[in-house]
Amino acid sequence: MFRVKPYHSALTLLAISLVLLLSTCKSAPKVGTVNHFRVNLGTEPPSLDWSIATDHVSFNVIANLMVGLTEFDKELKPAPAIAKSWEFQDGGKKIIFHLRDDVQWTDGKKVRAQDFEYSWKRLLNPKTASQYAYILFDIVNAQEYAEGKLKDPATVGVKAENDQTLVVTLRHPAAYFLAITTFEVTYPQRQDVIEKYDTRWTDPANIVTNGPFRLASWKHENEIELAANPNYFRGKPAMDKVTLYMVNEKTTAVTMYEQGNLDFLDDQSIPPLNKPRLAKLPGYKLVPQLRGEYYGFAVDRKPFDNPKLRKAFTMAIDREVFPKILQGGQTPATSWIPPAMLAHNPKIGLAFNPNEARRLLSEAGYPDGKGLPAIVLGYNTLDDNKLVAEAVQSMWQKHLNVVAKVENQEWKVYLKKLQNDPFVVHRAGWGADYPDPDNFMKLFTSNSGNNHGRWKNSQYDQLLEQAARESNDAKRTQIYDEAQRLLTETDAAIAPLYWKAEATLLNPKFTGLEYNSMARMDLRNVKPH
């Protein structure tokens, strides 16, 4: 997709936007087509395989194609979906899920408990190389299987007793486990389909799904088309068709919306400088998110293997700047667990202190930045990320006398780099997969596939294991406080930046779209106003 360079004049930008509008939307429906809803994804989903996907773009598509055991209600509590009920046994260490018998795949076959067993064990299978395998490690033998210590998947504590009964055996009671079953990576999968089509099983001609929509077409780097699933167990959605565009130039996306060629934009499609003007439109909303943005340090590589240096770079960041430049309701953050979540504590972390930052830089062996190797700050291509990176670059130069190079990459390329060879300082963000601090804190355990900085601290791992077993919220909070201090203060493995709010724009001609604090876009109830 064409990207507009930041030095283009306004007239050039407008001309390019209009060209893109005409070229991108050749198939855009006429205004007034009430059974067709048009959304901008902003970028290509890296994967629609929910055992492999790791990003909100992919999950937002998957969430409208699939349904799992449970789903969140409006209070973000687990509610029945394919599982009509469940019961706990053995002091909470065993969960028995009773499945509905009227949920079908798009090829007409019934969704069975065996489809969940296969999916979860595929997630854990080392050959899958899922970054989310760790999310099921509360299950008996799940970690051992994922790490190759046990070869037989039958030893893992998840078993379909029959078509409608799934039994899960945990190592210990886990108060948050039901919430995990709402997460896309736990959705069922068809073994026969995956074994037949291998890496191409998510192609539109091959994939089978069970949610409100089916995958009708996928024109890579252009658009995805969803079609209403007439066999959806809750009834066919009102929208016959949903088109998900991949317009990654935000100005173009806004132009398309204002000209009636898009019906919904989320924060990924709205330029920060446009927010004050767009906020006056009737379809504009600001949705607080369970999401944190941070800079991670490659702690296994020089020079950031030195915690004093990491602390210096962290304390040279003035986070009060971010809400001013982003204009989207951001909250400056030094701690990691976000507001409105158990164990949120804004007093934790390293606050802006340039004098202390310079002292620590000198103690690390680089007085006034002298002798410091070249520093590259990497981020994925988005206006918000660019503004923050350039602001932090300026702060480090002013307060540390360090000239850092900033480098950006398109999302799919950047994601691979995070996984394989991250920048020594790298932008990352985390939105809740389920609204429990466990989800945020496990990100940085030694066995987490999403721990891109490669930080390892056995005390931290032990604290999270202790928190998982603790049912008392006050005691859990104390444990998480201690773990957060290790992460953001003692070791300074990350530099939290801000907690996020999402700006959204919905065409007032439509109603029923739900966009929750976990940035999930639910299209099943969208209908003409």
Measure the CA–CA gap between 292 and 94, rounded to whole angstroms: 33
**Amino acid letter at 270?**
I
- Over residues 97-125, the mean pLDDT reads 98
Three-state SS string over 90-111 comes to HHHCEEEEEECCCCECCCCCEC
For 173-191, the DSSP string reads --TTHHHHTTSGGGS---H
Q: How buried is residue 90: exposed, middle or buried, by Cβ count under 10 Å (0-12/13-18/19+)?
A: exposed
**Amino acid letter at 106?**
T
CA distances from 33 to 25, 219, 245, 258 (A): 15, 22, 17, 16
Token duo for residue 406: 């900033």
**Amino acid letter at 349?**
G
Exposure string for 123-153, b = 16+ CB within 10 A, e = fewer: bbbeebebbbbbbbbbbbbbbebbeeeeeeb
Token duo for residue 363: 């103690």
User: pTM of the prediction?
Assistant: 0.80
Residue 79: is its pLDDT beyond 60?
yes
Q: How buried is residue 286: exposed, middle or buried, by Cβ count under 10 Å (0-12/13-18/19+)?
A: middle
pLDDT in tens, 479-489: 999 999 999 99
For 460-475, the DSSP string reads HHHHHHHHHH---HHH
On whether the CB atoms of residues 183 and 63 are closer than 8 A, the answer is no
In this prediction, residue 441 carries a pLDDT of: 94
On whether the CB atoms of residues 84 and 65 are closer than 8 A, the answer is no
In this prediction, residue 76 carries a pLDDT of: 83
- Helices and strands, number each (H, E), in the chain: 16, 21
Residue 297: is its pLDDT beyond 70?
yes
Measure the CA–CA gap between 108 and 97, rounded to whole angstroms: 23
- Over residues 320-338, the mean pLDDT reads 93
Q: How buried is residue 440: exposed, middle or buried, by Cβ count under 10 Å (0-12/13-18/19+)?
A: buried
Torsion angles phi and psi, residue 115, rounded to 5 = -70, -30
Q: Provide the β-strand partners of residue 504.
A: 285
Residue 161: is its pLDDT beyond 50?
yes
Measure the CA–CA gap between 181 and 396, rounded to whole angstroms: 42
Contacts of 414 (CB under 8 A, 6+ apart): 378, 379, 380, 381, 408
Residue 469: is its pLDDT beyond 80?
yes
Residue 451: is its pLDDT beyond 70?
yes
Q: Which residue spans within 76-176 are E strands per DSSP?
A: 78-80, 83-89, 94-99, 158-162, 165-169
Q: What is the DSSP letter of 218?
A: E
In this prediction, residue 419 carries a pLDDT of: 86
In this prediction, residue 29 carries a pLDDT of: 42
The full length of the chain comes to: 529
pLDDT in tens, 397-413: 999 999 999 999 998 89
Measure the CA–CA gap between 342 and 345, rounded to whole angstroms: 9
In this prediction, residue 34 carries a pLDDT of: 64
- Quick one: what percent of the chain has pLDDT higher than 90? 78
Cα angle, residue 256 at apex, residues 254 and 260 outer, rounded to 5°: 115
In this prediction, residue 19 carries a pLDDT of: 39
In this prediction, residue 33 carries a pLDDT of: 56
Token duo for residue 443: 């990100």
In this prediction, residue 142 carries a pLDDT of: 98
Residue 21: is its pLDDT beyond 50?
no
Residue 442: is its pLDDT beyond 50?
yes
For 16-46, the DSSP string reads HHHHHHHHHTTTPPPTT-TTEEEEE--S--S
Residue 228: is its pLDDT beyond 50?
yes
Measure the CA–CA gap between 345 and 334, rounded to whole angstroms: 9
Residue 27: is its pLDDT beyond 50?
no
Supply the mean pLDDT for the chain: 91
pLDDT in tens, 37-53: 999 999 999 999 999 99
pLDDT in tens, 244-268: 999 989 999 999 999 999 999 998 8
Measure the CA–CA gap between 455 and 255, rounded to whole angstroms: 43
Domains, the chain, with CATH or none: 10-65+211-263+507-528 (3.40.190.10), 70-195 (3.90.76.10), 289-501 (3.10.105.10)
Band of pLDDT at residue 12, cut at 50, 70 and 90? very low
**Amino acid letter at 401?**
N
Contacts of 529 (CB under 8 A, 6+ apart): 508, 509, 510, 511
Band of pLDDT at residue 8, cut at 50, 70 and 90? very low
